[in-house]
Chain A
Amino acid sequence: MIELRDVSFEYDARPVLRQVSANLAEHRIGLVGANGSGKSTLARLCHGLLLPTAGQVLVNGHDTRRDAAAARSQVGFVFQDPDIQIIMPTVAEDLAFSLRPSGLSKQEISAQVDDWLGRYDLVSHRDHPAHLLSGGQKQLLAIAAVLITQPQIVIFDEPTTLLDLRNKHRIMAVIAALDQQVVMVSHDLDLLSEFDRILVVDAGQIIADDSPRAALDVYRRAALG
């Protein structure tokens, strides 16, 4: 569970988020809002990538400021652009990179890598350069590299924005099958309509926190006038 307590965030004295409070406990939670509304900032605060200027963010009870390592160990983060998330030159090496801090032996890491390559149909790309994968395969690799560390919560920042329809559906199916709690920033209202709860962010504040139907109605009215 992620708990936001009066969270504010400023960048260069410009308020990005203002006194946001919420308890995020549902299985799948969506964050929606206009460009620059503060939703990606909110997602980064939930992970601990950003620290609040005021207030507290607790991940399963761990403060992202005071207990950063414990908080971050519970949360995985998937970026919009997988090209920035993939660190190692080849597919298998990138998955193995995620397990470096785990203390597992080389054989154990290799076995886990093979397992995850199989889950996402990447076995035939095991030793391929990551930059030669398709957009959908890159995003699958980025997701697998996060999930292989078995986080309890996974935050997605617009994971389908750069994908074509086929790959978008593939990624959506992967996300739908996750047992972990999912917090997702997205502009894809179809995708969010199947979530348990939606928070609508506007000008640094949560203007709606409701079921998808009610919250997305608020978003449409705010966006379209």
Chain B
Amino acid sequence: MLTLYTPGNSLLHRCPAAAKLITLCLAATLIMILTDPIVLASGILVVAVGYGMARIPGRTMWRLSRTALVIVMVVAACQAFFTSVSPAIIVGLRILFLITAANLVTLTTRTADLITVVEAAARPLTRWGVHPDRIGVTVALAIRFIPVLGEQACRVREAQAARGVKAPFTLLVPLVIRTLRLADGVGEALEVRGLGSSARAGASTTEHRSMTR
């Protein structure tokens, strides 16, 4: 679900976000029950037709399929190694369906519409102190900052390569530090942009922020 909306005017684009998400949930549940590889493959074919209907550019499709295929191959290989080929095929087809179907929903649905649905779904939880708007923003932040964190990882990797460091595990600590700094800044930005107003009136939330500037 971490891909991004591709503008369009197809039937899938015009379909309400709630309907798409409910269909996705039902299909995902059904696919976990089904065990016939031919039926599972047919499901993937239906999703492929959906991509065609939505007129998703071939380049985008290939980029997403490539990532999905890598995941499917790794999981299926593990499954085949530990059990047998038959369950590996079933698991692989299920994962391929889930990833491609979720991507299709994201590609044809604006993030704002997704968030509206998430917020509406969380509204009944308000009585237990849940803030639907914050849940919605959390979803948006996840989608927004995945590529930003990817860029951060690239920068750290480049900086380490420039200094001759090649061990992949050395990426972790600087990346975590950068991510925490980023989170600090995003927290401020959320306050500035009107989120968390009830907390920010108190001195405690703001006075303890890092002041190394």
Interface residues of A (CB under 8 A from B): 9, 11, 16, 36, 40-41, 44, 47-51, 53, 65, 68-69, 72, 76-77, 79, 81, 83-90, 93, 96-98, 100-101, 126-127, 129-131, 145-146, 149
Contacts and interface: CB of A to CB of B under 8 A. Distances in A.
Given A41-B213, A49-B192, A127-B110, 11 more contacts: A68-B200, A81-B185, A84-B188, A87-B140, A88-B140, A90-B5, A93-B110, A93-B140, A98-B193, A100-B194, A130-B144
B77 to A, nearest CB: 32
A146 B201 CA distance: 20
B211 A16 contact: yes
Given A49-B188, A77-B192, A85-B192, A40 B213 contact: yes
10 contacts: A49-B206, A50-B207, A51-B203, A68-B200, A84-B185, A87-B141, A87-B144, A88-B111, A89-B143, A145-B193
Contacts of B194: 98, 100-101, 149
B60 to A, nearest CB: 12
A41 B213 CA distance: 7
A99 to B, nearest CB: 10
B200 to A, nearest CB: 7
Q: Give 7 nearest A-B pairs by CB, closest first.
A: A84-B185, A11-B211, A40-B213, A68-B201, A127-B7, A131-B147, A77-B192
B189 A96 contact: no
B207 A89 contact: no
Contacts of A86: 144
Q: How big is the B interface, by class?
A: 35 or more
A84 B186 contact: yes
Nearest to B188: A49
Nearest to B181: A84
A129 B147 contact: yes
Contacts of A40: 213
A90 B148 contact: no
Nearest to B137: A87
A183 to B, nearest CB: 14
Contacts of B192: 47, 49, 76-77, 79, 85, 146
Nearest to A130: B144
B4 A129 contact: yes
Contacts of B185: 79, 81, 84
Contacts of B111: 88-90, 93
A116 to B, nearest CB: 15
Nearest to A17: B211
B182 interface: yes
A44 B148 CA distance: 25
Contacts of A89: 4-5, 111, 140, 143-144
B82 to A, nearest CB: 38
B182 A84 contact: yes
Contacts of B203: 51, 65
B113 to A, nearest CB: 10
B139 to A, nearest CB: 10
Nearest to A50: B206
